[in-house]
Amino acid sequence: MHWQHIDVFKGIVILLVIVGHIVQNSLSGGGREHPLYLWIYTFHMPAFFFCSGFLNKANELRDIVSAKSYIIKKLHRILIPYLIWGIIMFFYSQKHISINTFVHYIVLRPGYGLWFLQALFKFCILSVFIMLFINRILQLKREDYKVGIMIIVLACSAVLSMMQTIPFLIDWNFVWFFLGMILRKSTTIYRLFIEKRTATILAVIFFASIFMDIPRQIISLTGIITILNISLIKFGNGKVIDWLICFGKNTMPIFLLHFFLLGKYKLCIPVENTVVLFFILMAISVIIALICIAVYRSLSFGYLPVMLWGDKNRN
C-alpha cells in the first residue's frame, strides 16, 4: 500500500532537516544556541525515525526465510549506501587520514548525518528479532494481543532510554521508530492520534513549546503527531503538495547531498523575528532540495542509484 500523506510527511521533515543544518552550520549568528536550532532538533529527527518505523515491514515477518530476505534488502537499501557515503564523507572532511581514523569514523562517529543511516539499519535489524519473537515464538493469533506486546516493548524501550542502560542499541530514536511500527500495526491507535480533539491538543502543546519549557520527549511526540496531521490535510492538488510529495519520495538523496551545499558560506539574514526567519529558511531549503533532486537525477544511471541511494535495481 502506498501512503501519499507519508510522502508529504517526509517532505515536510526533510525541509526541516535542511533548515536545522542551515541554522547550525550556515547562518551567521546561528549554531547550537539559536532558538530555531533548539526547537527543530527536538522533533525533526524523531519524526524521521517515526516515519521509517511506520514504513518498516518487519511487522509482516513470520519466519526465518522472510526475515533473511528482509535483512538482505536492508543491506542493499541502507548499509551499502552508508558505507559508500561514509568513504566519500571521510575523504571529504578529514584532514588526518589513517586506517584507525577511518574505522573510528565509520563505526563510532560517522559525520554529516550518516549516524542516521547507521542507527536506522540497527533499528531495522533489532525490529526483526522483536517481531519474530512476537509472531513466531509467542504465536499470538489475535492482532490486538500482538499490539499489546508491542506497546510493552515500547514502554520498556522508553525506560531503557531514560536510564541509558544500553544506549548503543536502544535510545529515544528507537522509541519513535517503534512507535511508528505500532501506529502502522494498530488502526485504533492510529485513529486516536488523528482524532480532531487529540490532534488539536497535541498541536497546541507542540507550538506552545516555542515559548515554554516543555520536556524534550513531549515536544518530540507532539511534533511527530502534529506533522502527521498536517500531512493528512486535504489541500488539493498544487505545486506545494507536488513538491512535498517529490521531496518525500527522494529523502535519501536530498539528505545525503544537501550537506555539500551547506557550511561553505555563511548566510547573513537581517531578521530577528524567529517566525519570519523560519519561513525564509524554509524557502531556501526548498531551493536546496530542488538542487539535490536535480543532482540525483543526473547521477541516476548504471548501478549508481543502487549503490549511492539504495534505489531498487530495475535491471
Pair 60, 134 in one domain: yes
Cβ neighbours of residue 38 under 8 Å, at least 6 residues apart?
32
Pair 173, 186 in one domain: yes
Nearest to 49 by CA among 96, 150, 119: 119
Looking at residue 315, what is its pLDDT? 41
pLDDT tens sequence across 202-222: 999 999 998 888 999 999 999
Range of the domain at 293: 1-30+243-264+279-315
Pair 191, 258 in one domain: no
Confidence of residue 313 (pLDDT cuts 50, 70, 90): low
pLDDT tens sequence across 130-140: 998 888 778 77
Q: How far apart are CA 175 and CA 112, in angstroms?
A: 23
Pair 157, 224 in one domain: yes
Mean pLDDT computed over 85-91 = 92
Confidence of residue 314 (pLDDT cuts 50, 70, 90): very low
Read off the C-alpha cell for 191. Answer: 485513529
Number of domain units in the chain: 2
Looking at residue 114, what is its pLDDT? 93
Mean pLDDT computed over 83-109 = 88
Nearest to 85 by CA among 249, 251, 259, 246: 259
Pair 257, 274 in one domain: no
Pair 61, 49 in one domain: yes
Whole-prediction pTM value? 0.93
Q: Partners of 267 in the beta sheet?
A: 27
Q: How far apart are CA 307 and CA 169, in angstroms?
A: 26
DSSP labels, the chain: ---HHHHHHHHHHHHHHHHHHIIIIIBTT-STTSHHHHHHTTTHHHHHHHHHHHH-GGGG--SHHHHHHHHHHHIIIIIHHHHHHHHHHHHHH-SS--HHHHHHHHHT---TTHHHHHHHHHHHHHHHHHHHIIIIIS---SHHHHHHHHHHHHHHHHHHHHHTSSTTT--HHHHHHHHHHHHHH-HHHHHHHHSHHHHHHHHHHHHHTTTS---HHHHHHHHHHHHHHHHHS---SSHHHHHHHHHHHTHHHHHHHGGGGSSSS-B------HHHHHHHHHHHHHHHHHHHHHHHHHT-STTHIIIII-PPP--
Pair 16, 62 in one domain: no
Pair 89, 223 in one domain: yes
Pair 229, 295 in one domain: no
Cβ neighbours of residue 10 under 8 Å, at least 6 residues apart?
48, 51, 247, 248, 249, 251
- In this structure, the chain runs to a length of 315
Pair 135, 237 in one domain: yes
Mean of the per-residue pLDDT values of the chain: 89
Q: How far apart are CA 126 and CA 52, in angstroms?
A: 14
pLDDT tens sequence across 249-278: 999 999 999 988 886 677 888 888 888 999
Pair 97, 200 in one domain: yes
The distance from CA 198 to its chain's CA centroid, rounded to whole angstroms, is 23
Pair 51, 185 in one domain: yes
pLDDT tens sequence across 142-193: 888 899 999 999 999 999 999 998 988 999 999 999 999 999 999 999 999 9
Looking at residue 64, what is its pLDDT? 85
Q: Residue 95 to residues 98, 189, 294: CA-CA distances in angstroms?
A: 10, 49, 30
Looking at residue 238, what is its pLDDT? 65
Q: How far apart are CA 16 and CA 278, in angstroms?
A: 10
